[in-house]
Chains A and B, each alone.
Chain A
């Protein structure tokens, strides 16, 4: 038991620091999907509500495709597809070179698209709960469309969409374990390496599961705080 624990230590011969580095990559990857995924999801939701038929069709196709494809397949298609496309384009221009795309960037793009597709549905649902009167009142006050969206609609949307987005974030966090298949060294990959060296699969995979559980638990706390923050105007006065 004790020598098993020493495998997890941070000293030499222990895998502690390697696992921690992998965990940081996992978190960094998941977080870096948010700046693209959230706005893109919102844009897709706005496009799905627009009057333009083409924009609507485009938004529906986007969300159907990326919600319907397995995340593993999306990842591989983006990873290999971008490489092959880049090679073809370079070959057309006369260069004949092997192109390798950074795995982190490929994973970031793939998971951002998936996250955008799923969160667009959440945003759409949130849009439906905003009463028409809000838009009419904003128009009566002479607010521009953009100001209406930014000052009136978005703050309400954020509160309503938060629980759904929290679910999406948790599944994104778990899906990032798939990047171990394109050999980006995240928590899962680092665990696989540790297992292949130490032959202790039970210990290391349990640790990996607990690591993801820990991240989920922290995210849960964070979202509970955010929900309280965004609905602070709705709280009744303390007696």
Chain B
């Protein structure tokens, strides 16, 4: 087998010219989807973690049920539930003026991903908040810090240091899970790949996607390791 034949098998120039730009677009969509939903999920997750740790029994059981539901069922089912399920109440959403949101696959995917990752991140944050030594809280009380200041200045920085590793894992899981968005007509990296395959019937596009996903995940993993080392430098 000559070199040109080998190249044709794995990196066909014609195919690359036709679908290369679309793959870049898909990559950007995947990045945007993960970045937005992960950030919103972190904020919501922090609130849920605080709810799970609160002394209010109602709040505790509600957030517990939320986390249990979203961690116990597949993201695919949740996405379909939001997109097709909530989308079926067209009249209601039109009345409250939110139809533009639930009509759009992009917004529904963002919502589903945010709610899903919030549940996972809430568990990570809850564990890390609990891991802060009790003496730190007592010291805050002794210094007469308000609860909010104590949380913001003492508890949160220490717990985030513990949480950053698991949060990084969750980010990587999120990047991988974002491929599911292609099933509700979003043209992310996976969506573009499926479209390219259905038009060209050339299997190599799947291999391109595999390499791209591996590349993203590896880059994210390495940079998270660097960040983790940097944040924990006072502990070494």
**Does chain A bind chain B?**
yes
Which chain B residues numbered 203 to 233 have a C-beta less than 8 Å away from chain A?
203, 206-207, 209-210, 213-214, 217-218
A202 within 8 Å of B (CB atoms): yes
* Shortest Cβ distance from A173 into B: residue: B74
User: What are the residues of chain B within 8 A of A206 when measuring CB–CB?
Assistant: 81, 85
Pick the residue among B81, B87, B176 that contacts A209 (CB under 8 A).
Answer: B81
User: What are the residues of chain A within 8 A of B21 when measuring CB–CB?
Assistant: none
Assess whether A69 is in contact with B73, with CB atoms less than 8 Å apart.
no
How far apart sit A178 and B194, CA to CA, in the bound complex (Å)? Answer: 15
Which chain B residues numbered 154 to 194 have a C-beta less than 8 Å away from chain A?
172, 175-180, 182-183, 190, 193-194
Instruction: Give the number of residues in A that approach B within 8 Å (Cβ atoms).
Output: 37
Assess whether A80 is in contact with B213, with CB atoms less than 8 Å apart.
no
B78 within 8 Å of A (CB atoms): yes
Instruction: Give the number of residues in B that approach A within 8 Å (Cβ atoms).
Output: 40
Assess whether B78 is in contact with A209, with CB atoms less than 8 Å apart.
yes
User: What are the residues of chain B within 8 A of A4 when measuring CB–CB?
Assistant: none
User: What are the residues of chain B within 8 A of A202 when measuring CB–CB?
Assistant: 81, 85-86, 88-89
User: Taking the nearest CB of chain B, how far is it from the CB of A223, in angstroms?
Assistant: 14
Interface SS of chain B: helix
User: What are the residues of chain B within 8 A of A84 when measuring CB–CB?
Assistant: 203
Assess whether A80 is in contact with B88, with CB atoms less than 8 Å apart.
no
Assess whether B73 is in contact with A213, with CB atoms less than 8 Å apart.
yes
A181 within 8 Å of B (CB atoms): yes
How far apart sit A76 and B197, CA to CA, in the bound complex (Å)? Answer: 11
A175 within 8 Å of B (CB atoms): yes
Pick the residue among B69, B86, B180 that contacts A72 (CB under 8 A).
Answer: B180
Assess whether A209 is in contact with B77, with CB atoms less than 8 Å apart.
yes
How far apart sit A81 and B218, CA to CA, in the bound complex (Å)? Answer: 24
Interface SS of chain A: helix
User: What are the residues of chain A within 8 A of B177 when measuring CB–CB?
Assistant: 70
A71-B218 contact in complex given A201-B85, A201-B88, C-beta closer than 8 Å: no
Assess whether B84 is in contact with A201, with CB atoms less than 8 Å apart.
yes
Which of B78, B172, B176: most chain A Cβ within 10 A?
B176
How far apart sit A25 and B102, CA to CA, in the bound complex (Å)? Answer: 32
A199-B206 contact in complex given A70-B176, A177-B77, A188-B77, C-beta closer than 8 Å: no
Assess whether B206 is in contact with A76, with CB atoms less than 8 Å apart.
yes
* 23 examples of A-B residue contacts, CB within 8 angstroms: A64-B214, A68-B217, A70-B190, A73-B190, A73-B209, A73-B213, A77-B206, A80-B206, A81-B206, A177-B76, A178-B76, A188-B76, A192-B80, A201-B84, A201-B85, A202-B88, A202-B89, A205-B84, A205-B85, A208-B77, A209-B78, A213-B72, A216-B73
Q: 8 extra interchain contacts, Cβ-Cβ under 8 A, other than A70-B213, A73-B206?
A: A73-B190, A80-B197, A81-B203, A192-B80, A199-B88, A209-B81, A213-B68, A213-B73
B residues sitting closer than 8 Å to A (CB atoms) are 68-69, 71-78, 80-81, 84-89, 172, 175-180, 182-183, 190, 193-194, 197, 203, 206-207, 209-210, 213-214, 217-218
A residues sitting closer than 8 Å to B (CB atoms) are 64-65, 68-73, 76-77, 80-81, 84, 170, 174-175, 177-178, 180-181, 188, 191-192, 195, 199-202, 205-206, 208-210, 212-213, 216-217
